Amino acid sequence: MRRAVALGRYLQNPLAMVATLCGPRKEIMSWKLSPLESFLNQDDKFAIVEQVMVDVTNQVGLDINLAISHEWLFAPLQFISGLGPRKAASLQRSLVRAGAIFTRKDFLTEHKLGKKVFVNAVGFLRVRRSGLAASSSQFIDLLDDTRIHPESYILAQELAKDVYEEDGTGDANDDDDALEMAIEHVRDRPSYLKNLDVEEYASGKKRQNKIQTFYDIKRELIQGFQDWRNQYEEPSQDEEFYMISGETEETLAEGKIVQVTVRRVQAQKAICGLESGMTGILMKEDYTDDWRDVIELSDRVHEGDMLTCKIKSIQKNRYQVFLVCKDSEMRSNRLQNNRDIDPYYHEDRSCFQSDQDKARKEKELAKKHFKPRMIVHPRFQNITADEAMEVCY
């Protein structure tokens, strides 16, 4: 039961699950992420994985109080901007000892983050009522659960206060309680913020240089740390097939030439294995053009044989591939698959001689009574003495 609960928590937070594979042992390197990854060495591939993890982690943020209660959720902490494996590990130990955190300022004062590290990281560290802090009565600033940076809190409070007063229910006080009430008001009534013209508001405040900041504040006040990722969708049958098989549309398609190993031979068919481990089936009538002369396929094919075959069809629902290795099929000059053609590649046919031009020149050379020589020189030409005289004179 405990394992089932733990597994459920992992599935609810896939970012943390993936981050656990990016530790010192770099287990994530065993994942096949792209059909072109073989062109990268291991260091370059891991550097790209790290960059993606940094981008995604900072988009989603990290719920600190929830991570304190479930320490495996700290796995993405190393990818928060300004941190790294060493600083993240030190901060994690300090947070676990504290048990909970109630304001972002504590990262600087209580948990000894350097000032520059704090400025870089704090906007992506969420402080909210979760974990052990859920049952606490201590005050938690609503802005600490947004992507709004503490250096812009004054702008956010000012915007919320103006919207609150515009609604006609606010007061002119600037104390902390009034500002907090204004933020709660606009959070509970996002329609007021959605109707706000940010550029007009910034112009009225003579802060045109803060227009983008006001846009970010408006979005975060409507919904703090809104998840920008696409909603999860069930994979299609094709996507599920390629994920499980490890193949791609380029490596496994009808008409593709593949190498297979015979695993088991029966009277009417041979069970083969592709390089990816998928099962291939070669029927007796698909083995040779003269299949009627073959009584049993085991007379021609044996376990362990390597065969060159063409993919006849793919049963994606059963994860099986039907093969053919008839000479007539293998000699076919039809293109294996349109996907094999690079859409951006075009041959410059002007640089290729046609067969007729080559044959004509070979006949002309055959009539001449000299042996052509291969000399690498920009001025050298395979011509006769008479032709050389004409060129010189």
Domains present along the chain, CATH in parentheses: 1-140 (1.10.150.850), 142-227 (1.10.10.2740), 247-337 (2.40.50.140), 355-392 (no CATH)
What average pLDDT does this structure show over 304-322? 88
Q: What is the pLDDT of residue 79?
A: 92
Question: Residue 46 to residues 17, 52, 62, 183, 315: CA-CA distances in angstroms?
Answer: 17, 10, 22, 42, 35
Q: What is the pLDDT of residue 337?
A: 44
Q: Are 238 and 315 in contact (CB under 8 A)?
A: no
Cβ count near 295 (within 10 Å): 10
Question: Residue 220 to residues 145, 152, 270: CA-CA distances in angstroms?
Answer: 9, 12, 62
Q: What is the pLDDT of residue 336?
A: 46
Pairing of strands 306-315, 257-265: antiparallel
Per mean pLDDT, which of 138-142, 336-340, 362-366 is the most reliable? Answer: 138-142
Q: What is the pLDDT of residue 168?
A: 61
User: How far is residue 92's CA from residue 96's CA, in Å, rounded to a whole number?
Assistant: 6
Percentage of the chain surpassing pLDDT 90? 7
More confident call, 179 vs 241: 241
More confident call, 278 vs 8: 278
User: How far is residue 182's CA from residue 386's CA, in Å, rounded to a whole number?
Assistant: 101
What average pLDDT does this structure show over 329-340? 56
User: How far is residue 327's CA from residue 8's CA, in Å, rounded to a whole number?
Assistant: 53
